[in-house]
Amino acid sequence: MKNAGQKRFRLRDPVQFLALGCGSGLMPWMPGTFGTLAAIPVYLLAARLPLSLYLLLLLLLFGLGIYLCGAAAKAAGVHDHPSIVWDEIVGFLITMTAIPPSWHAVLAGFLLFRLFDILKPWPIRLLDRYIEGGFGIMVDDAVAGLFALAGLHFLYWTIG
């Protein structure tokens, strides 16, 4: 079964293609999970950057995401359509900030980010519910990424 509004997306449109995580968000079930999976290779490439450049990249991707997600949502006619997963990609990259790449770290970061993104504890749920547009789509996942980042750093520094 297709997600509601999915027929309105055009993968030939570069804005929609990126907002949909290069098509990973079009999975008929768990599109956010598949969008987060699409973020793993991006992280593995970005993890080689010095921290200052990694943070700059995050800012650029977040800013770009405001535009991409807003435009894709408008095309779909639905605020924060499940197929729009650029926000998950950036949220996962936030989660992995300053974490050396390893399969353990990627798995833990993936699980923590998905946990916070799905459960949406305070204030994530408020942000998701009350902030609209591209910024609204991006900000709840960015905060979920910050929560997961804190948890991942706690794990990294306590159990190595």
Range of the domain at 114: 13-159
* Residue 145 domain-assigned (yes or no): yes
Question: What integer pLDDT is reported at residue 3 of this predicted model?
Answer: 46
Residue 158 has pLDDT above 60, yes or no: yes
Structural domain total, the chain: 1
User: Does 128 or 55 have the greater pLDDT score?
Assistant: 55
* Residue 43 domain-assigned (yes or no): yes
pTM listed for this prediction: 0.92
* Residue 4 domain-assigned (yes or no): no
What digits encode the pLDDT tens for the residues 54-104? Answer: 999 999 999 999 999 999 999 888 888 999 999 999 999 999 999 999 999
Query: What is the C-alpha to C-alpha distance for residues 103 and 50, in angstroms, rounded to an integer?
Result: 20
* Residue 44 domain-assigned (yes or no): yes
Query: What is the C-alpha to C-alpha distance for residues 145 and 131, in angstroms, rounded to an integer?
Result: 17
